[in-house]
Structure 1
């Protein structure tokens, strides 16, 4: 399979690459598999107390065959909207947190933090391992619910396999402490998709960020030691307080511009094998 075999349905099929479609939605082609994280395909407009400001760069019909969907959490429409939920339910396999898996039903499998699941690769290289990792959807000192979560249950993921780069997908995490724990347990992360728009809702936690702000994203990149960082979830919704210019500035000031990969939505970032 060539590095950029164009699918008749739209988005090209890559050997080892990441693209962001807008909002939190990323497509990861790795190990012969097509993986979609936090699918959001609704058109721009109001979604309850949140407002979507832009359509995705590629809709669900443009993705071709999808093997796996990752859902960091199912309770907020900016991470799983109506069309995204239908897309996930139609996928062969979905990984998410245990509580979300109960709500979503089949084909969702719930993974607690530090639990893993193996998925057969399509490139003949064995299995892809999907490791669930923790995330804190708000300030570290935020009030926790009965299940111990800030705001709600959120799950991040680490993808790995023989001969493949190790890829971390943060989900809506605002905690550097959590990133440090992930880096300690998984010391060789090659690439990271960081939700980095400093989402804020005035009624929650005194308006403090519910996801990484730009400086925290740069700090997370430094802690992880990742050679490639792809920011996501910084646009397409009105409650993001920082965008690509703030992200680029923070990485520049931290001396980490060389690892940051910002491309137009729907454009691939190639990952080293």
Structure 2
């Protein structure tokens, strides 16, 4: 877990892909996973194993204005406790298919679509769905639809949440439209499973450092890098990769 703050964007990593972001007076929560450690049987006989509990329970977070859910189909991005939390949140932004499956307050976005949220100070935050590729080329029929998110406001720095993305070409698309970004929350644990013969399903440490360079990010907060057995890299690998890239000063974690 890490608590990372700046004058305008507060970021708290709770474990796995779950991150609390304070932006424009609003509280955003990414991919909620609050179950205790356990095994999750998934398709084709695979098992995903959660190895660590979250750093906080939902009731300890305060009111959440919106959940930014990259996708709903994998338990390491939305588990049972996370699903229960959605009923208490006024808005969940996710994929179009995910919104259909979840119902309730879920709203589906395709990459490039935006929604504006009212801020307590009377301004607005724009949330734009970013593209994401959850594996190698051609993975979508197997891994499903996934999105990331970009938060912008006229008086605030830009925040990018990658979601489960393994592609630097996707990162370049985001940088071309929104870069440079101030804070990049990168799902950076080098997730691998037997699917696609162990190919990357999210960024690894080396690609995360390159993503930071592409985005021109002032600050990179790694998520999705601990708490699950199929995350193959953690904080040590990230520190080494950013140091070797000459970007150690951009990496923010406890």
TM superposition score category, shorter chain reference? over 0.9
Q: Which residue of 1 aligns with 2:216?
A: 225
Q: Which residue of 2 aligns with 1:237?
A: 228
| 1:135 to 2:132 alignment | yes
Q: Which residue of 2 aligns with 1:63?
A: 61
CA contact (8 A) 1:15 1:32 kept: no
Distance 1:54 1:106, change over 3 A: same
Provide structure 1 residue ranges, at least 5 long, that are not aligned to the other structure: 1-11, 264-273
Would you say how many aligned residue pairs link Structure 1 and Structure 2?
244
CA contact (8 A) 1:73 1:154 kept: yes
Q: Which residue of 2 aligns with 1:8?
A: none
Q: Which residue of 1 aligns with 2:244?
A: 253
**2:24 paired residue among 19, 28, 31:** 31
TM-score normalized with structure 1 length? 0.87
Q: CA deviation at 1:15?
A: 5.7
Q: CA deviation at 1:188?
A: 3.0
| 1:88 to 2:86 alignment | yes
Task: Tell me the distance in 2 between the aligned counterparts of 1:182 and 1:258.
Answer: 22
Task: Tell me the distance in 2 between the aligned counterparts of 1:200 and 1:144.
Answer: 15
RMSD of the alignment, in Å?
A: 1.4
**What aligned pairs does 1:2-13 form with structure 2 within 5 A after superposition?**
none
| 1:120 to 2:118 alignment | yes
**What aligned pairs does 1:97-108 form with structure 2 within 5 A after superposition?**
97-108=95-106
Q: Which residue of 1 aligns with 2:150?
A: 158
**2:197 paired residue among 172, 187, 206:** 206
CA contact (8 A) 1:173 1:210 kept: yes
Q: CA deviation at 1:143?
A: 4.2
Q: Which residue of 1 aligns with 2:207?
A: 216
Q: Which residue of 1 aligns with 2:44?
A: none
| 1:170 to 2:168 alignment | no
Provide structure 2 residue ranges, at least 5 long, that are not aligned to the other structure: 42-46
Task: Tell me the distance in 2 between the aligned counterparts of 1:225 and 1:190.
Answer: 8
Deviation digits for residues 65-117 of structure 1 (CA, Å, limit 9, x no counterpart): 11111100000000000000111232001100101110010200101000000
TM-score normalized with structure 2 length? 0.93
Task: Tell me the distance in 2 between the aligned counterparts of 1:47 and 1:90.
Answer: 24
CA contact (8 A) 1:198 1:212 kept: yes
CA contact (8 A) 1:118 1:127 kept: yes
CA contact (8 A) 2:134 2:140 kept: no
CA contact (8 A) 1:42 1:55 kept: yes
Deviation digits for residues 142-198 of structure 1 (CA, Å, limit 9, x no counterpart): 4442xxxx6211110000112111100000000000000110011231110000000
Task: Tell me the distance in 2 between the aligned counterparts of 1:19 and 1:241.
Answer: 22
Q: Which residue of 1 aligns with 2:177?
A: 185
Distance 1:214 1:123, change over 3 A: same
Q: CA deviation at 1:47?
A: 1.7
| Bigger proportion of residues as strand | 2
